[in-house]
A and B are shown apart, each in its own frame.
Chain A
Amino acid sequence: MERYELVVIGAGPAGLSAAIEASKYGMKTLLLDENGKPGGQLFKQIHKFFGSKEHKAKIRGFRIGQELLEQAQSLQVEVLLNAEVMGIYEENDIMVHIGDEIRHFKADNIVIATGAAENMIPFQGWDIPGVIGAGAAQTMMNLHGVQPGERILMVGSGNVGLVVSFQLLQAGCQVAAVIDAAPRIGGYGVHAAKVARTGVPFLLSHTVIQAEGTDHVTGAVIAQVDSHFQPIPGTEQHLDVDTICIAVGLSPMSQLAQIAGCKMVDGPGGIVPEVDECYETSMPGIFAAGDVTGIEEASSAMICGRIAGLAAAKRGGYVEEDEFQTASAALKASLDQLRQGMFAKKNRGRTDLTETDEGYPLSQSLLKKGFMDPEELTAFPAAQVHRAGIHPVIECTQNIPCNPCQDACPCGCIEVGQTITRLPVLSPTAQCVGCGMCVSACPGQAIFLVNEDYEEGQASVALPYEFLPLPEVGDQGVALDRHGKQLCAAQVVKVQKPAANDGTAVLTMMVPKEMADRARFFEKEV
C-alpha cells in the first residue's frame, strides 16, 4: 500500500486545480483518473470561457486544460491514468482498479472531484444508434475530428445544448433545430443568439417523441408539449435528421462520497455530499469539489478545487493560519464574482425575473426564440445603432459574469465595473477606433461594430466569425438577420484575423444603411 498526503480523484478542472494548489505548498499529491488522458471535459471545450481575467475569461477551454496540465507537470504532481477508483473505505483506504489488478492507496487527505454524468430522457427509439449524448458529439468532433452526423436535432437549450449546437455548425454539420420542453431557453441568451443568427430554429415547449429508423436514426418526430410537459396530440412533426443529440442536464457523480460515508444531501441537482465553505465533507480530510457537489461552470470548479487543495494543505500543516485566511478569502471573492447574476446557482430555475439588475426589461424574444427583436434592443443603451461614426453595438442583455470587453478595448470605450455581472456600458467620451478587439474578445459573440456613415447610403457591420471557409474581402453575399433570415445583399469589405483573436475572425460587411440595425451575419453567395 502506497501512502500520499493527498489523493485527488478526477483530473478534470476541479481535480487538477486541487492537485496544483496543494502541490504548490509542497504536499505529496497523487492525482487519479479513470481516463487515458487527464483534463476531464476541458479539452472538448473549444469556446471562449466567460468570467474575468482571473477566471481565464476569453481563453478557450482546451487551452485552459493545457495550462493546467503544464502547471501540474512543473509541480511534479504524480498522475496515474486509466485508474478507476472503486471505493474509499475505512481510514481512507482507496481501492483502485488499474489494468488487471486492484491496488490500494492510503491518503491523509482526499479530494473527490469526479464531476458529473449526462442525464438522458427516454423516448421511443432512444436506444437506436445515432441517438447520442451532447458530450459524445463534442468528443467526436473536437477531440477526434469526426462529424457526429450530417444533420442533427439538438434536444435541450441549456448552455451545453447551445454551445454544442454552435460547435456542430463549426464542425460543418447542420443543426435542424434546438428544442426544449421548457417554455424558455435555459442557457445564456448570447449562446442562443449566435446559433440563431446562422438560421437554426429554436422550438420551445417541444420534446422529442420518437427516433425513427431500425438500425440507425433516419429521422425524428417532435411534438409540442402542454404546461405539464405532455405531448399535445396533433402537433407532431417529422424532422429529417440522422443524429439526435441529447443535452438535458448533468447529474453529479457522487457515489464515491457516499461509499466513503460522507453526509449526503438530496438537492434539486441530485444527491451531493454536504460540504463546508472549504469543500470539506462531513468526513474529516475528505473534500469534494467541482460538479460532484452540484453542477456549475468549469470556471467555478477550478476555484472550488483550489480552495479544497488549499484547505487540504493547511490540514497537512503546509499552510499557516494567516496565509490560509488571506489565500482562501481571495479565492472565495473570486468565486463569488462568478456566482452573481440571473444564472447564479441561487437563481437557478427562477422564471419570475422580468428585468436586469439595471432595471431594463429582459428580452422575451431571446428567451423564446433565441434572438432579440430590434425593438427590444432599443431599451439597452450599449446596443444603440444610431450613433455617428464607428462604434460598438453590444447586444449583451442578461446579467452573466463576464467582462473581457472592458479589457479588450484599448480606448476605454467599454466599462463593466467591479461587479462583472453588470451589463457593459459605453463611455460617453471615449472614441472608438474600430479595431474590432471587443468583437473578437466577447465570449458570447455579442458585440458588433456599426458605422452608419461608411459610405453614401451604406453602413458597415463588423461581426465575429468562427466558421470555414472564411470569406474574403470583395466577396458578395447575403446579410442575415438575428434569426438567420436573408435580409439584403452584402459585400465583405474587411477581414481581420490576428493571432491574438485565437481563431475569431472579425468580418466587416457593407449593407444598405437602413439594414444596419438588423444585419448580423454573413452568408457567402454560392
Chain B
Amino acid sequence: MRIQEHPILGTYEKGKLVEFQFDGKTLTGYEGEPIAMALKAAGVMVHRYTAKHHKPRGVFCAIGRCTDCVMVVDGVPNTRTCITPLREGMEVQTQYGVSTKEEA
C-alpha cells in the first residue's frame, strides 16, 4: 500500500505514473522509483525462485546488498530490483534460478 500522506514527510515526490510489464501483466508504478517498490505497491511479493530448492524470494534488505530481490529485467537476469529505477515499458520477469521460466 502506498502512503498518501505522512505526518512528518507530507507527500512524496514521485516521477510520472508509467506502465510496465510484470510476467506479461501490465502494472503501473512511478518512473524512477526502484522496480521493487512498484511491485510491492502492486502486492507482488515473490521476485524469484531459487535454483536448487525452488524456494520463493522477495525484498529483504532493499538497499542492493543481499541480492534476494533479483529478477530478469529487460532480459537481463540477476538485476537488483530494489536499486534499479523503474522506466516506462520495462519488462520485469520472475526469475527461476538464473533465467526466466521458459528457459529454466
Contacts and interface: CB of A to CB of B under 8 A. Distances in A.
Nearest to A169: B7
A503 B1 contact: no
A127 B6 contact: no
Contacts of B55: 127
A241 to B, nearest CB: 14
A145 interface: yes
Contacts of B56: 128-129, 214-216
B20 to A, nearest CB: 16
Interface string B1-37: 1110111110110100000000000000000011001
Nearest to A133: B61
A466 B9 contact: no
A7 interface: no
Interface residues of B, number: 34
Given A140-B40, A216-B46, A146 B3 contact: yes
A226 B14 CA distance: 48
Contacts of B58: 128-130, 216
Contact of B46 (A129, A135, A136, A503): A129
B45 A216 contact: yes
Given A117-B65, A133-B61, A170 B2 contact: no
A466 B62 CA distance: 26
Contacts of A139: 62-63, 82
A35 interface: yes
A172 B3 contact: yes
B56 to A, nearest CB: 4
Contacts of A34: 64
Contacts of B61: 118, 132-133, 135-136
B22 to A, nearest CB: 15
A1 interface: no
Contacts of A256: none
Contacts of B45: 129-130, 215-216
Given A132-B60, A140-B62, A216-B46, A466 B37 contact: no
Contacts of A147: 1-3
A468 B1 contact: no
Contact of B2 (A131, A135, A145): A145
Contacts of A118: 61
A128 B14 CA distance: 29
**Chain A interface size, under 10 / 10 to 19 / 20 to 34 / 35 or more:** 35 or more
B98 interface: no
B90 interface: no
B6 A129 contact: no
Nearest to A137: B62
Nearest to A60: B8
A346 interface: no
A145 B3 contact: yes
A144 B7 contact: no
Nearest to A128: B56
B51 interface: no
Looking at B41, B57, B59, which has the most chain A CB atoms within 10 Å of its CB? B59
A308 B1 CA distance: 43
Looking at A46, A128, A136, which has the most chain B CB atoms within 10 Å of its CB? A136
Contacts of A171: 3, 6
Nearest to A117: B65
Contacts of A35: 63-64, 83
A141 interface: yes
B47 interface: yes
Contacts of B37: 140, 144, 146
Given A35-B83, A46-B8, A129 B47 contact: yes
Nearest to B14: A145
B72 to A, nearest CB: 17
Interface string A144-173: 111100100000000000000000001110
A470 B5 CA distance: 12
A145 B13 CA distance: 9
Contacts of B60: 131-133, 136
A114 to B, nearest CB: 12
Contacts of B41: 146
A127 B69 CA distance: 11
Interface string A175-218: 00000000000000000000000000000000000000011100
Contact of B59 (A132, A141, A145): A132
A405 to B, nearest CB: 20
Contacts of B65: 117
Give me the 6 closest cross-chain CB pairs, A-B, nearest first: A129-B58, A136-B62, A145-B12, A216-B45, A129-B45, A139-B62
15 contacts: A129-B58, A130-B58, A132-B60, A140-B40, A141-B6, A144-B33, A144-B34, A145-B11, A146-B40, A147-B1, A170-B8, A172-B3, A214-B56, A468-B6, A502-B8
Interface of B: 1-3, 5-9, 11-12, 14, 33-34, 37, 40-41, 45-47, 55-65, 68, 82-83, 85
